[in-house]
Amino acid sequence: MSMSIDRRSFLAAGATAATAAVLPAAFGQGESGGGRPVRIGLIGCGRRGSSLASVLLRLPDVRVTALSDTNPANLQAAAGLVTAGGQPEPARYGDDPEAWRRLLERDDVDAVVIATPWDLHAPMAVAAMKAGKYAAVEVPCALSLEECRALVDTHEATGVPCMMLENWSFRRDNLAVLNMIRKGLLGEMVHCHCAHSHDCIDHWFFDPQGNDRWAARFLIEHNRDQYPTHALGPVLSWLDINVGDACATIASTATASRGINAYFARKFGPDHPGARRKYAQGDIVTSVIRTQRGRTIVVNYDMQLPRPYDNRWMVQGTLGLYREDPSTVYVVDRSPKYHAWEPFAPYQKEFDHVWWREHGAAAGAAGHGGTDFLELKTFVDAVRARTQTPIDVYDSVTMSMVIPLSERSIAAGGVPVECPDFTGGRWKTRRPTFALEA
């Protein structure tokens, strides 16, 4: 039987209702998987895609039925993972760059997981929704405002959910902080700082031999925050963005580009082409977002200079604040010493989220500290129950819109630019749904 979503029922209910409503059931109910299993198609079988496939194969009542990749070796390796997991040989699509479209036509695919290069994410997710398939798309979900709008418009026209796989929203510490905020410990939220600080020059943008990887061209052609979603993932839920508040403006500045040239000169010598090439991308991008309710968020991009990994999360309210590094907290009338930091560990234990209390043992063995397990499990649970995904399309595009908006602001000398409201004003009445505890 073909899994299809009744578009007419969605359109009759309207876009707002479609976002919150339970979707029509086309197969098994509940987390027990009482009917047939959730059937997943994977588009993009490289390093990230294969990692996600390994997690999917650990989930109960999930079958990976189809794969697509333009690299035959990637397809072969991913198919081997599936069969090694005790599942039937998946269908493969890789004979041409558009072969993934045929995967979307299959009746035995209920949802797709997209792990391809950045510029393919939005077109593939749009096509998946139009085909009636739930879409889980790797970060970022879009690179332009036009792509953001296409994702929202397609979701609202079809009612099919689209979830960006922002795994840092599912971190144990970040979810505990969210529980603290929702229980009022930090008072009214005022300000956040966040960053993606990760030296990726020698393995992501370029290979160890100094050759360009697919992401290198973005550093050559653009000057912007290339990768804001890991920084912003938990911040959106901490500040109730799109569910009580919304981004109003963003102002971005960038340093000069020095780190990439310095890396190539240091490792390969000053005459290496990489040491002499001009890169548009500045080393550090700093963006300041102001929300409709007068809060501020500082976002840093820092992926080209030598440094340890760091997210620099800090959230501050009228009764206290939390900071990730070092892992400390201060709460008015609760912290034992006046204006003195205390360790976060006891708070994480006290406010540990139910997802981690119930699934921490299984999640811990998966990628990225267990966050990959939780994001895929909650996505699959939504597909099975025909409900909205934990991260919806509005949050997905809000995190991703920083890419084109920061580029626009930097090019204009750092002036604030207006943030589109993809909810159409519904942020004023929408209520939080992410990671709610009963």
What's the CA gap between 31 and 213, in Å, rounded?
40
User: pLDDT by residue (tens digit) across 301-357?
Assistant: 999 999 999 999 999 999 999 999 999 999 999 999 888 999 999 999 999 999 999
pTM: 0.92
DSSP-derived letter for residue 202 is I
Give me the pLDDT at residue 12, please.
Answer: 31
What's the CA gap between 377 and 354, in Å, rounded?
14
Residue with tokens 């085909």: 131
Residue 264, burial from CB neighbour count under 10 angstroms (0-12, 13-18, 19+):
buried
Give me the pLDDT at residue 16, please.
Answer: 36
Give me the pLDDT at residue 313, please.
Answer: 98
Give me the pLDDT at residue 438, please.
Answer: 74
Name, in order, each residue with C-beta under 8 angstroms of 214's C-beta and a sequence gap of 6 or more: 117
Please count the other Cβ atoms lying within 10 Å of the Cβ belonging to residue 57.
17
Give me the pLDDT at residue 200, please.
Answer: 97
What's the CA gap between 386 and 324, in Å, rounded?
35
Asked if 285 contacts 414 with a C-beta cutoff of 8 angstroms, the reply is no
Asked if 128 contacts 138 with a C-beta cutoff of 8 angstroms, the reply is no
User: HSE-up of 368 (CA within 13 Å, CB side)?
Assistant: 21
Residue 283: which H helix or E strand, with range?
none
Residue 227: which H helix or E strand, with range?
none
Give me the pLDDT at residue 18, please.
Answer: 37
Give me the pLDDT at residue 105, please.
Answer: 98
Residues in the chain where the model's pLDDT stays below 70? 1-35
Where do the domains of the chain lie, and which CATH numbers do they carry? 7-167 (3.40.50.720), 169-353+390-428 (3.30.360.10)
Residue 176: which H helix or E strand, with range?
helix 172-182
What's the CA gap between 135 and 152, in Å, rounded?
13
Asked if 386 contacts 397 with a C-beta cutoff of 8 angstroms, the reply is no
What is the arrangement of strands in the sheet containing 111-114, beginning at the earlier edge strand?
A: 91-93, 62-68, 38-43, 111-114, 134-137, 162-164
- Which of 101-116 are b and which e, b meaning 16 or more Cβ less than 10 Å from the residue's Cβ? bebbebebbbbbbbbb
